[in-house]
Amino acid sequence: MIEIWQAAAGVAASVVIVTGGVVAAVRPLLRSEFVPRTQHSELEHRVAEVEKHLPGVPTGQDVRDLTTRLGRVETDVAVARTSIEGWGAGLNRVERMLGLLYQHQLSKGGEQQ
């Protein structure tokens, strides 16, 4: 009977030694995978702060809508630019004609004196 207890004690000791070795081997891995409680509470606080601002962040659909609007604005600006450039050419012609008329009037005025 004593031999059975000795054998059981040997098995129990072996189990304790193996379990201790496994815990010693796994513990560094667990430390690298999980954060300590103090850092965890800090991270929870930071996540809560970020989540407060999430409702104001644009969604993907909002960004797509803005992109579409921006495309329309770019087209409108291009059309307006073409129109303005056309007006500029017309104004240059009018300015040149007015200059010629002004010179003609000045030269006429100089002849009368």
| pLDDT for position 63 | 93
Residue 36 has pLDDT above 90, yes or no: no
| pLDDT for position 64 | 95
Cα–Cα distances (Å) from 58 to 46, 53, 69, 73, in that order, read 20, 11, 15, 20
| pLDDT for position 61 | 94
What's the whole-number mean pLDDT along residues 38-46? 86
Residue 35 has pLDDT above 80, yes or no: no
> What is the phi/psi pair of residue 59, to 5°?
-85, 175
Domain ranges of the chain: 1-57, 59-113
Q: Give the pLDDT confidence of 2-32 residue by residue, as tens digits.
A: 788 888 888 888 888 988 888 888 777 777 7
Q: Give the pLDDT confidence of 51-108 residue by residue, as tens digits.
A: 898 888 889 999 999 999 999 999 999 999 998 888 888 888 899 999 999 888 888 7
- 3 state DSSP class of 58: coil
What is d(CA 25, CA 12) in angstroms, rounded to the nearest whole number? 20
Query: What's 71's DSSP letter?
Result: H
- 3 state DSSP class of 62: helix
Q: Where are the alpha helices (H) located in 34-59, listed in sequence order?
A: 37-53
